[in-house]
Structure 1
Amino acid sequence: MTGLRWGILATGHIAHTFATDLRDAGIELVAVGSRTQESADAFAAEFAIPRAHGSYEDLAADPDVDIVYVATPHPQHVEAATLLLEHGRHVLIEKPLTLNEGEAAQIRDLAAREGLLAMEAMWTRYLPHMIRIREILAEGTLGEIRLVTADHTQKITDDPAHRLNALELGGGALLDLGIYPVSFTWDVLGAPATIQAAARLQSTQTDADVATIFTYASGALATTFSSSRAVGPNTASIVGTEARLDVDRVWYTPTSFRVIAPDGTVLEEYRSDITGRGMQYQAFAAERLVAEGNFAGDILPIEESVAILGTLDEIRRQIGVVYPGER
């Protein structure tokens, strides 16, 4: 580890989860910033963080902070990340990196100019079971990949004021939930050659259910489904000509998987055994990248995060979801 000194920008639910995992992993949390001093003070007291800032600007200017986790709603990511990068701080930005591809490219370019790390906090990519899955794919155990399928489905409130249902807050199932299976297909197969999408929109004009079909130059197919109104299996599968890999629920959290031959023989079984939710692994990766001076990234390069947002933009174009200010 590099011994980087971490700050957290915003104090909502995901910030609490991240701080819990970092504290339990022994990573140094030195500062938190919120829009109010009261919120910052409460968060700092809960996690024994020495400095609490009542504005994002004060956190960005804190000379004892090396890297900051951005935990705001995604429409605010580009402004927060820009502020931090301009103050010389590395950033780990909660997924999705930004609201759209154009904003993501702005962050990529600014980080490159400043010589800093800007990394998307797609924490699933860094979990031990996902590391092993990539090893199995590289070993060729599954043969030629023919199909990838995954869903991320939850039953969440239908309150139109809730963040997930509010268009002005970047609401909808796709950017909060669908990004997981879409990123998974990118991880396995890379960029799709074609994209087809269908959705059901709510009265707020946010997407509640989204289904996609991707095709690839290799002839492989991928399907994803995301929903904020119903709970599905929350599993994932990679089907190859020599074997398939089935990831148990909840596939995007620490879980188990099996590699199964065409005759049903289990070739490998993996079970996760980690502490906490697993958000510390992305922090470990960020510290490693900074130590190496590899600001382009590797497990999830910043270029890939930008391109994935391009895929999400195309899905939104097809289903008719436009956020305020994008027209």
Structure 2
Amino acid sequence: MINWAILGPGSIAHHFAEALKKEGESIHAVGARNKEKAEVFAEQFDISHVYEGFQGVFDNPDVHVVYIATPHAFHYETIKEALLHGKHVLAEKAITVNYQQLEELAALAEEKQLILAEAMTIYHMPIFKELQQLIDAGKIGKVQSLSVNFNSIKENVPTNRFFNPDLAGGALLDIGVYALSFVRLFMKEQPSEIISTVTKHETGVDQQAGIILKNEQGQIATITLSFMVESPERATIMGTNGFIDIEKFSRAQKATVCYVEEEKTETIENGETESALRYEVRAMKELIESDVPHVTLPYTKDVMGMMDQLRQQWEIEFDFE
């Protein structure tokens, strides 16, 4: 039995705890800066060990893996302490604020023979595994381009996590990480060329951006991100003989495949949107319990590297970096 601990019992942590329960997993401990909040969470999910702060979780020898659901501005320090105390770590996205932080933590995890992973739904949705098989079989020809739109209107409050630079705010680290993860998953290799433009919020963080990426194989991806408008969350993979259209791509369960030469359309369904976090739990367990390759961490590193390049282009750097 693997004993899990949850740090930061906010909204996403509630959903993750529900996924753990449905998977029959043991939630051994919860830690929060506000102990009363932790106690309410513990009562709801029948958690026996409750801590004010995180140190008690780190010191508990019966905790095997820590799920971190705090704002990403604080992930680096929290992940580092968890790894130093011998805990596997699954951290919400963005896993860190920059590549240097992630590279250091990944090296520490390797040294300690521990698993470090980002809770990125895209890497674990069954539909994408099936689509990768379809693409590898040449069903839509050679993939040449991808298009991703991810837009969500956020309340214009400069102090909230979306716009506050002290909390590493901005659309890129919040929703852009999904778009870039999707692109990296379906590109044959890491983009080597990045062109972009940005609209900044009054606080200095990015609130809208257009991004073009190209790799050495000539594959091109275009991404639009915005906290200023609402639109369908959509991704399209375009090949020489067809294309794949995916709505609500971050937790997709359905895709439409259009075969151009045959003038035929096919709908593919696999997995369930509501089970997205359960797939993350299963993937983390498999990494801990077996010798399967940790294929998602290299993707996570590539995405973090792209986000670093984009913020450099936009001249956005957080004071605490």
Normalising by the smaller structure, the TM-score range is over 0.9
Q: CA deviation at 1:161?
A: 1.0
Q: Are the aligned partners of 1:255 and 1:272 in contact in 2 as well (CA < 8 Å)?
A: yes
Q: Are the aligned partners of 1:254 and 1:277 in contact in 2 as well (CA < 8 Å)?
A: no
Q: CA deviation at 1:304?
A: 2.7
Q: CA deviation at 1:263?
A: 4.4
Q: Which residue in the other structure is 1:256 paired with?
A: 254
Task: Note the alpha carbon deviations across 1:254-282, whole angstroms, 9 max, x for none.
Answer: 33101111147345312345373511111
Q: CA deviation at 1:293?
A: 3.6
Aligned in 2, Cα 1:273/1:283: closer, same or farther, shift over 3 Å?
A: closer
Q: State TM-score, norm by structure 1.
A: 0.94
Q: Secondary structure at the match of 2:13?
A: helix
User: How many residues in Structure 1 have an aligned counterpart in Structure 2?
Assistant: 320
Q: State TM-score, norm by structure 2.
A: 0.95
1:325 equivalent in alignment to 2:320: yes
Q: Are the aligned partners of 1:154 and 1:231 in contact in 2 as well (CA < 8 Å)?
A: yes
RMSD value, Cα: 1.5
1:273-284 pair list within 5 angstroms:
273-274=271-272, 276-284=274-282
Q: Are the aligned partners of 2:241 and 2:261 in contact in 1 as well (CA < 8 Å)?
A: no
Cα distance in 2 for residues equivalent to 1:177 and 1:264: 36
Q: Are the aligned partners of 1:153 and 1:230 in contact in 2 as well (CA < 8 Å)?
A: yes
Cα distance in 1 for residues equivalent to 2:264 and 2:81: 50
Q: Secondary structure at the match of 1:148?
A: strand
Q: Which residue in the other structure is 1:316 paired with?
A: 311
Q: Are the aligned partners of 1:150 and 1:235 in contact in 2 as well (CA < 8 Å)?
A: yes
1:185-204 pair list within 5 angstroms:
185-189=183-187, 190-204=189-203
Task: Note the alpha carbon deviations across 1:96-135, whole angstroms, 9 max, x for none.
Answer: 1100000001110110110100011112210111221222
Q: Are the aligned partners of 1:4 and 1:66 in contact in 2 as well (CA < 8 Å)?
A: yes
1:152-171 pair list within 5 angstroms:
152-171=150-169
Q: Which residue in the other structure is 2:24 paired with?
A: 26
Cα distance in 1 for residues equivalent to 2:53 and 2:19: 24
Cα distance in 2 for residues equivalent to 1:307 and 1:273: 26
Q: Are the aligned partners of 1:258 and 1:266 in contact in 2 as well (CA < 8 Å)?
A: no
Q: Which residue in the other structure is 1:239 paired with?
A: 238
Counterpart residue type for residue 215 of structure 1: K
Cα distance in 2 for residues equivalent to 1:287 and 1:10: 21
Counterpart residue type for residue 313 of structure 1: D
Q: CA deviation at 1:149?
A: 0.8
Runs of 5+ unmatched residues, structure 1: none
Q: Which moved more, 1:26-35 or 1:169-178?
A: 26-35
Q: Which residue in the other structure is 1:123 paired with?
A: 121
Aligned in 2, Cα 1:141/1:307: closer, same or farther, shift over 3 Å?
A: same
**Residue 76 of structure 1 is aligned with which of 65, 74, 77?**
74
Q: Secondary structure at the match of 1:78?
A: helix
Q: Percent identity?
A: 28
1:69-148 pair list within 5 angstroms:
69-148=67-146
Cα distance in 1 for residues equivalent to 2:262 and 2:50: 56
Task: Note the alpha carbon deviations across 1:12-63, whole angstroms, 9 max, x for none.
Answer: 1111121122222322212111113212111111112221111201011111
Q: CA deviation at 1:150?
A: 0.8
1:276-295 pair list within 5 angstroms:
276-294=274-292
Counterpart residue type for residue 15 of structure 1: A
Q: Are the aligned partners of 1:108 and 1:303 in contact in 2 as well (CA < 8 Å)?
A: no
Cα distance in 2 for residues equivalent to 1:34 and 1:266: 53
Cα distance in 1 for residues equivalent to 2:95 and 2:319: 18
Aligned in 2, Cα 1:265/1:98: closer, same or farther, shift over 3 Å?
A: same
Q: Which residue in the other structure is 1:297 paired with?
A: 294
Q: CA deviation at 1:138?
A: 2.0
Q: Secondary structure at the match of 1:38?
A: helix
Task: Note the alpha carbon deviations across 1:57-104, whole angstroms, 9 max, x for none.
Answer: 101111111101111111111111111111110000111110000000
Q: Secondary structure at the match of 1:124?
A: helix
Counterpart residue type for residue 314 of structure 2: I
Q: CA deviation at 1:197?
A: 1.1
Q: Are the aligned partners of 2:196 and 2:210 in contact in 1 as well (CA < 8 Å)?
A: yes
Q: Are the aligned partners of 1:178 and 1:210 in contact in 2 as well (CA < 8 Å)?
A: no
Q: Are the aligned partners of 1:144 and 1:241 in contact in 2 as well (CA < 8 Å)?
A: yes
Q: Which residue in the other structure is 1:149 paired with?
A: 147
Q: Are the aligned partners of 1:11 and 1:40 in contact in 2 as well (CA < 8 Å)?
A: yes
Q: Are the aligned partners of 1:165 and 1:171 in contact in 2 as well (CA < 8 Å)?
A: yes
Counterpart residue type for residue 324 of structure 1: D
**Residue 11 of structure 1 is aligned with which of 3, 9, 12?**
9
Runs of 5+ unmatched residues, structure 2: none
Q: Secondary structure at the match of 1:17?
A: helix
